[in-house]
Amino acid sequence: MPIYTAPTKDMQFILHDMLKATETGIPGYDDLDRDFTAAILGEAGKLATDVLAPLNASGDAEGCRLENGIVYTPKGFKAAFEAVKEGGWNGLDLPEEFGGQNLPYVMGCAVGEVFCSANMALNMYQGLTHGAINALVSHGTDAQKATYLPKMVSMEWTGTMNLTEPHCGTDLGMIRTKADPQEDGSYLITGQKIFISAGDHDMAENIIHLVLAKAPGGGEGTKGISLFVVPKYVINDDGTLGERNGVSVGSIEEKMGIHGNATCVLNYDGARGWLVGELHKGMRAMFVMMNEARLGVGLQGYAQAEAAYQNAVAYAKDRLQGRAVTGAVNKDGPADPLIVHPDIRRSLMDQKSFVEGARAFTFWGAHLIDRAHRLGDKEADAMISLLTPVIKGFQTDMGFDMAVQAQQVYGGHGYIEEWGMSQFVRDARIAMIYEGANGVQALDLVGRKLAVDGGKPAMAFFEMVKSFIKENEGQEALKADFLEPLKNASKDLQTAMMYFMQNGMKNPNAALAGSNDFMHLFGHVCLGLMWARMGLAAQNALDAGTGDAAFYETKLATGRYYMARHLPATGMHLARIQSGADTVMALPAEAF
């Protein structure tokens, strides 16, 4: 069975050495001292290793099943869900007034990574609930908040997000689900939603669906869409569960991964729903929590790579094949362990340097969200808005690639289900698709985010990189290995942006043919920046002679690897972008 241990030491390094949590001045961060965060991460890690991870493979093998209209989750899921609920983990970063603990979002992310690495399918029931809670906190009426939020924060009730229909996923303007207004102010919702994660299950008393539908009087396309709350069981005035609402499970999708999460076809047949937020402004309400939801999916990408990596390391140390080219290491054995081979090392370093960089990027992103929410910092808000498609798209593409690399370390045994490596690959794959497929993330980045506010957030990003390099150019230990590569990569990014500015208006295809490359180019620069910041933090700790020197030396060596071996990809992405759309669009559709 695959192993999993929470990487608490690395998380502590990012929170305290890199982000310097207690010095940020963000309300709530002053509580985040090393002992406090160690206690939280330690408890989360224990739950993940002892309870959640042991159910990952069995949940994958068994999957969910639909019997007589009821969805059953795999054996053990209910008890594990109870353990998460009892521990109050769902409310960690949610408002106190609804039963949460109001810790910063960055802590919610850290714990979320641990639970997701241990068991992504199970963690998604909680993740979707979190998304629905955020929508209600931002847009619900006081009465809706009082009715739904305490039970959702405590996880007695879970939540779902219903956007997709059979004929529309990306292009939500084509939604057909209808909302008919009733005299009592409610609506009757009719239509079919597909692919609804955690759409139904046997672990909670009630399920609160947030549904996009069209009410009369709205315009065409996305403008006419409104958001509704549709509970599986209607809530009585006294808060008890009332009659079963007109929503039922048509089927559970058979799919490639996350088998323990019920992906449902939901049929709404005159189900009673209530408007959330303004009429015909449902997209705005749904997308208000987009930064967090997309960051959460970006997190899933590297969290699966982390779990796969941990197993690949253990296997590479254990499996004996061939001899080291520089002379036998395991002289008394029949062969040396895989880890002696440079190509296996390359693969493990690829994985390790990506995962640790992505973790830093995600925590930094979460810290920007905390700055925006808790300090009202508009620049942080603009920055995270720019970076969100990068976090989501780049990290899930790379996370999948790294899970494949971890699987490759096992050779044929990686392809055999017995070792559990195929599950990491299969589970990681969905993060590239849902919450806006990655091609659409790239489109959002190039087509919208770069131009926001006359390009100010993008300029602020370049300025931040430039000033980091300038402030630290006196650091001889970092100059050649960290600062120079970062400077060059950032230059590639600026050149690419300039190319879009000069060519995008007259030939939009030229910009969009390069959008995927731009998202990856941007992702590498962000991880390069993270590695430079982590390199600085590690070097400072070494200079001060505090802490675990071996850990900091390892950090620096891993960072040097990222800068030398991953970051040069920016040059390739730039060359592709500058080649424009001619070769991409050369063939007529009939030639394919």
Ligand X SMILES: Cc1cc2nc3c(=O)[nH]c(=O)nc-3n(C[C@H](O)[C@H](O)[C@H](O)COP(=O)(O)OP(=O)(O)OC[C@H]3O[C@@H](n4cnc5c(N)ncnc54)[C@H](O)[C@@H]3O)c2cc1C
Kindly state whether residue 263 participates in binding ligand X, applying the rule CB under 6 A: yes
Q: CA-CA distance, 486 to 479, in Å (whole number)?
A: 10
Q: Which is nearer to ligand X, 100 or 389 (CB)?
A: 389
Task: Please list every residue from 523 through 582 that binds ligand X, using CB under 6 A.
Answer: none
Q: Which is nearer to ligand X, 434 or 461 (CB)?
A: 434
Q: What share of the chain is helix, strand, coil (3-state, %, to 5)?
A: 60, 10, 25
Phi, psi at 65, each rounded to 5°: -140, 150
Cα–Cα separations (whole angstroms), residue 436 to 292, 293, 409, 440, 441 = 13, 10, 31, 6, 6
Amino acid letter for position 369: I
Kindly state whether residue 162 participates in binding ligand X, applying the rule CB under 6 A: yes
Which residues, 6 or more positions from 102, have their beta carbon under 8 angstroms from its beta carbon?
28, 93, 94, 95, 96
Kindly state whether residue 443 participates in binding ligand X, applying the rule CB under 6 A: yes
Helices (H), 376-452: 378-409, 412-415, 421-430, 438-447
Q: Which of 195, 424, 500, 562 binds ligand X (CB under 6 A)?
A: 195
The stretch near ligand X (CB under 6 A) out of 202-210, 283-291, 350-358, 429-437 is: 429-437
Asked about 306 being catalytic, the answer comes back as no
- Least gap, CB of 255 to ligand X (angstroms): 5
Q: Which is nearer to ligand X, 264 or 382 (CB)?
A: 264
The length of the chain, given as a count of residues? 592
Kindly state whether residue 584 participates in binding ligand X, applying the rule CB under 6 A: no
Q: Which of 435, 463, 471, 473 is catalytic?
A: 435
- Least gap, CB of 224 to ligand X (angstroms): 17
Q: Which is nearer to ligand X, 8 or 248 (CB)?
A: 248
Kindly state whether residue 447 participates in binding ligand X, applying the rule CB under 6 A: no
Instruction: Please give the structure tokens belonging to residue 358.
Output: 């992505």
- Least gap, CB of 412 to ligand X (angstroms): 28
The stretch near ligand X (CB under 6 A) out of 87-95, 435-443, 449-457, 500-508 is: 435-443
The stretch near ligand X (CB under 6 A) out of 176-184, 433-441, 463-471, 542-550 is: 433-441
Q: Which is nearer to ligand X, 12 or 162 (CB)?
A: 162
Instruction: Please give the structure tokens belonging to residue 13.
Output: 């390094």
Q: Which is nearer to ligand X, 40 or 513 (CB)?
A: 513
Helices (H), 435-514: 438-447, 456-471, 476-478, 484-503, 508-512
The stretch near ligand X (CB under 6 A) out of 58-66, 243-251, 438-446, 540-548 is: 438-446
Kindly state whether residue 196 participates in binding ligand X, applying the rule CB under 6 A: yes
Q: Site for ligand X (CB under 6 A): how many residues?
A: 19
Q: Which is nearer to ligand X, 263 or 347 (CB)?
A: 263
Q: CA-CA distance, 116 to 126, in Å (whole number)?
A: 10
Asked whether the beta carbons of 122 and 80 are under 8 A apart, the reply is yes
DSSP reduced 3-state for 248 = strand
Q: CA-CA distance, 276 to 284, in Å (whole number)?
A: 11
Task: Please list every residue from 78 through 97 that binds ligand X, using CB under 6 A.
Answer: none
Q: CA-CA distance, 212 to 222, in Å (whole number)?
A: 10
Q: Which is nearer to ligand X, 258 or 489 (CB)?
A: 258
Q: By Cβ distance, which residue is nearest to ligand X?
A: 169
Kindly state whether residue 508 participates in binding ligand X, applying the rule CB under 6 A: no
In the numeric block, the tokens 């020197």 are attached to: 549
Q: Which of 53, 116, 155, 163 binds ligand X (CB under 6 A)?
A: 163
Neighbours of 104 (CB within 10 A): 26
Q: Name beta bridge partners: 228.
A: 211, 275
Kindly state whether residue 161 participates in binding ligand X, applying the rule CB under 6 A: yes
Q: CA-CA distance, 353 to 524, in Å (whole number)?
A: 11
Which residues, 6 or more positions from 588, have their beta carbon under 8 angstroms from its beta carbon?
none
- Least gap, CB of 434 to ligand X (angstroms): 4
Q: Which of 246, 439, 547, 580 binds ligand X (CB under 6 A)?
A: 439
Answer left, alpha or beta for residue 264, where phi above 0 means left and psi between -120 and 50 means alpha.
beta
The stretch near ligand X (CB under 6 A) out of 93-101, 156-164, 464-472, 536-544 is: 156-164
Q: Which residues bind ligand X (CB under 6 A)?
A: 161-164, 169-170, 195-197, 255, 263, 430, 433-434, 436-437, 439-440, 443
The residues annotated with a catalytic role in the active site are 435
